Copies of this chain bind each other. A is one copy, B any other.
Amino acid sequence: MRAMSLPLLFAQLAALLATFVAGSAVAAETRIPDAALAAATQLRERALADDTGWKVVESLTTEVGPRLAGSEADARAVEWAKAKFKALGYDKVWTEPVTFPKWERRSEHAEVLGAHAQPLVLTALGGSPGGTVEAEVVRFASLDALKAAPEGSLKGKIAFVDYQMQRYRDGHDYRNGGGIRHAGPSEAIRKGAIAFLMRSAGTDTSRAPHTGVTSFDDGLTPIPSAALSTIDAAQLARLVALDPHTRVRVALDCGWDGEYTSQNVIGEITGRKHPEQVVLLGGHLDSWDPGTGAIDDAAGVGISMAAGALLKPLHPARTIRVVAYSNEERGLYGGKAYAEKHAGEIARHVIVSESDFGAGRIYSFNSSAPAPAKAAIAQIAGALAPLGIATVDGEGGPESDVGPIAELGATWASLGHDGTHYFDVHHTAEDTLDKIDTKDLAQNVAAYAVFAWLAAQAEGDFGSKPRAAEPAKH
């Protein structure tokens, strides 16, 4: 996941503002019929006892395994998703192309040189160029400390930002950890550094480093950029304290290699009464390469595929559309492609959601629905409450891949997972099937199924409408 990046936060605030301003245009109050609420109770219990979500996650992580966007496994994942939608009884299954530059990781090594020679475990950041560098390391406790370094002071050196992310239920310290990953390399280049190292953006104590995408500001020449495991970062910090002239060798073999066209894979349970109106669920199909992408994001794929499958026998009034997005990890390519292709159908996306924050128990529910739909949102919240889910004001937002369509005016709903341990294994080799609790996953499926069912049965809409053009942006 890449949620809670600053651009997305701004998008969310802008969307909230837009729906607030436009709110008065929504006519009658949206309501959910009593029969639908009664059916939701049964649906919830059925979902809690169902293992479809788990089986989907097991199948994707085992049979496809790691599936870096653009890799050979990307194509296998697309075939897998098509077959799985069909096996689950979805009424329509299709793909929509997503094109992006291909980045490959081939090998990565690092070692301390000299009197305390020893290997260091690291992983290249997605988007890093390859290269081999031997140089002195300069440690900074934070991104701000790196920013404060004098101009040119890192000439010929390796910048090392050694910030330890903290655990929170809503994962908000990823703003710091992920922020260093995004902005650190460019800051290092501006100070003259020839390579960039960071303590992994992770809350674990382990030798498994956390990868994740980075980028380089326009006009800068990219440098090899990598994350040390939290343990290796602590070791390097001790060694630099012992000897400020500690030298390290970083050897990355990775980089860009042309373009690749993958696919968003889409399955639908066709609506009985309003087939053209869509309740949008999903997760992303790609993963980083070190693990098998269980919590990020086979879980989201499994939760949304299973929720849709559970609704099929109920014949929902609106269409339940599940998207397995392509290449979320390197920049929301799937989410952007979906929004672009469906930009003319914003009002028909009655409410949009994605599960891309693991498989911890869902504890919060929120939505950008405007006033006339707030009562219906409260009805959904009421049906979710027995699952231990409460509306937490200010939490939530459109998860990664639905950010782009929410920006275009679609109303989002968010079901917030407990992310206390999400960043223990996020983007590491440890993101594997065993990290998912079957009962928690069933709770996730139940929550999404209940939400999607009630949104599909609601009489009246949730305020999705194309946003007014913003001339200032053109």
A residues neighboring B (CB under 8 Å): 58, 62-66, 72-73, 76, 112, 115-119, 121, 205-208, 231, 234-235, 238-239, 242, 291-292, 429-430, 432-434
Q: Is the CB of B234 within 8 A of A434?
A: yes
Residue of B nearest to A63 (CB): B116
- Chain B residues with CB under 8 Å of A432's CB are 207, 231, 235
**Complex partner residue of A117 from B72, B207, B434, CB under 8 angstroms:** B72
**C-alpha spacing A459/B466, complex, angstroms:** 93
Sample of 21 A–B contacts (CB below 8 Å) = A58-B238, A62-B235, A63-B116, A64-B116, A64-B118, A65-B235, A73-B118, A76-B115, A118-B292, A121-B429, A206-B206, A206-B430, A207-B208, A207-B291, A207-B429, A207-B432, A231-B430, A231-B432, A234-B434, A235-B432, A235-B433
**C-alpha spacing A234/B61, complex, angstroms:** 12
**Complex partner residue of A116 from B58, B65, B119, B205, CB under 8 angstroms:** B65
**C-alpha spacing A432/B236, complex, angstroms:** 13
Residue of B nearest to A65 (CB): B118
- Chain B residues with CB under 8 Å of A205's CB are 434
Residue of B nearest to A231 (CB): B432
**C-alpha spacing A407/B432, complex, angstroms:** 46
Copies of this chain, complex-wide, total 2
Q: Is the CB of B66 within 8 A of A119?
A: yes
A425 to chain B, nearest CB (A): 10
Given contacts A63-B116, A65-B117, A72-B117, 18 further A-B contacts (CB under 8 A): A58-B238, A62-B116, A62-B239, A62-B242, A63-B242, A65-B112, A65-B118, A66-B119, A73-B117, A76-B115, A76-B117, A121-B429, A207-B291, A208-B208, A231-B432, A231-B434, A234-B433, A234-B434
A436 to chain B, nearest CB (A): 12
A231 to chain B, nearest CB (A): 5
Q: Is the CB of B430 within 8 A of A207?
A: yes
**C-alpha spacing A73/B112, complex, angstroms:** 12
